[in-house]
Structure 1
Amino acid sequence: MPGINEIKRPIAADIDAFEAKFKASMQSSVPLLDRITHYIVKRKGKQIRPMFVFFSASICGGINESTHRGAALVELLHTATLVHDDVVDNSYQRRGFFSINALWKNKIAVLVGDYLLSKGLLLSIDNDDFKLLKIVSEAVKQMSEGELLQVEKVRRMDVDEPVYYEVIRQKTASLIAACCACGAASAGASDEVVKKMHDFGENIGIAFQIKDDMFDFGTDDVGKPLGIDIKEKKVTLPLIYALKNAEPSQKKRMMSLVKNHNDEPEKIMQIIAFVKQAGGLEYAETQMKIYQEKAFDILRTFPEGDARTGLEQLVRYTTERNK
Structure 2
Amino acid sequence: MLSINEIKKPIATDIDVFEGRFKASMQSSVPLLDRITHYIVKRKGKQIRPMFVFFSASLCGGINESTHRGAALVELLHTATLVHDDVVDNSYQRRGFFSINALWKNKIAVLVGDYLLSKGLLLSIDNGDFGLLKIVSEAVKQMSEGELLQVEKVRRMDIDEPVYYDVIRQKTASLIAACCACGAASGGADEATVEKMRLFGEHIGIAFQIKDDMFDFGTDDVGKPLGIDIKEKKVTLPLIYALKNCTSAEKKEMINLVKNHNDDPIKIGRIIDFVKSKGGLEYAGTQMKVYQDAAFEILNTFPAGDARTGLEQLVRYTTERNK
TM superposition score normalised by structure 1: 0.99
Q: Which residue of 2 aligns with 1:63?
A: 63
Letter in 2 for 1:50: P
Structure 1 unaligned runs (5+)? none
Looking at structure 1, the residues matched to 34 and 44 of structure 2 have their Cα atoms a distance apart, in angstroms, of 16
Q: Which residue of 1 aligns with 2:86?
A: 86
* Amino-acid identity (%): 87
> CA deviation digits over 1:116-149, x for unaligned, max 9?
0000000000000000000000000000000000
> CA deviation digits over 1:22-80, x for unaligned, max 9?
00000000000011000000000000000000000000000000000000000000000
Looking at structure 1, the residues matched to 223 and 150 of structure 2 have their Cα atoms a distance apart, in angstroms, of 24
Q: Which residue of 1 aligns with 2:76?
A: 76
Q: How many residues align?
A: 323
1:143 aligned onto 2:174: no
Q: Which residue of 1 aligns with 2:266?
A: 266
Structure 2 unaligned runs (5+)? none
Looking at structure 2, the residues matched to 224 and 94 of structure 1 have their Cα atoms a distance apart, in angstroms, of 10
Looking at structure 2, the residues matched to 248 and 105 of structure 1 have their Cα atoms a distance apart, in angstroms, of 45
Deviation at 1:222, TM superposition (A): 2.2
Q: Which residue of 2 aligns with 1:126?
A: 126
Q: Which residue of 2 aligns with 1:250?
A: 250
Deviation at 1:223, TM superposition (A): 2.6
Check conservation: 1:83, 1:109, Cα contact below 8 A. yes
Letter in 1 for 2:231: K
Deviation at 1:263, TM superposition (A): 1.2
Query: What secondary structure does 2:256 align onto?
Result: helix
Q: Which residue of 2 aligns with 1:223?
A: 223
Looking at structure 1, the residues matched to 192 and 66 of structure 2 have their Cα atoms a distance apart, in angstroms, of 19
Looking at structure 2, the residues matched to 86 and 221 of structure 1 have their Cα atoms a distance apart, in angstroms, of 22
Check conservation: 2:95, 2:223, Cα contact below 8 A. no
Q: Which residue of 1 aligns with 2:191?
A: 191
Q: Which residue of 2 aligns with 1:41?
A: 41
Q: Which residue of 2 aligns with 1:11?
A: 11
Check conservation: 1:233, 1:262, Cα contact below 8 A. no
Check conservation: 1:33, 1:112, Cα contact below 8 A. yes
Deviation at 1:220, TM superposition (A): 2.3
Q: Which residue of 2 aligns with 1:208?
A: 208
Looking at structure 2, the residues matched to 90 and 256 of structure 1 have their Cα atoms a distance apart, in angstroms, of 24
Q: Which residue of 1 aligns with 2:165?
A: 165
Looking at structure 1, the residues matched to 220 and 164 of structure 2 have their Cα atoms a distance apart, in angstroms, of 25
Letter in 2 for 1:22: F
Q: Which residue of 1 aligns with 2:292?
A: 292
Looking at structure 1, the residues matched to 208 and 79 of structure 2 have their Cα atoms a distance apart, in angstroms, of 19
Looking at structure 1, the residues matched to 140 and 130 of structure 2 have their Cα atoms a distance apart, in angstroms, of 15
Runs of 4+ in 1 over 2 A off after TM superposition: 220-223
Deviation at 1:262, TM superposition (A): 4.6
Check conservation: 1:216, 1:226, Cα contact below 8 A. yes
1:235 aligned onto 2:235: yes
Looking at structure 1, the residues matched to 133 and 223 of structure 2 have their Cα atoms a distance apart, in angstroms, of 34
Structure 1 range deviating more: 49-58 or 215-224: 215-224
Query: What secondary structure does 2:216 align onto?
Result: helix
Letter in 1 for 2:27: Q
Letter in 1 for 2:280: G
TM superposition score normalised by structure 2: 0.99
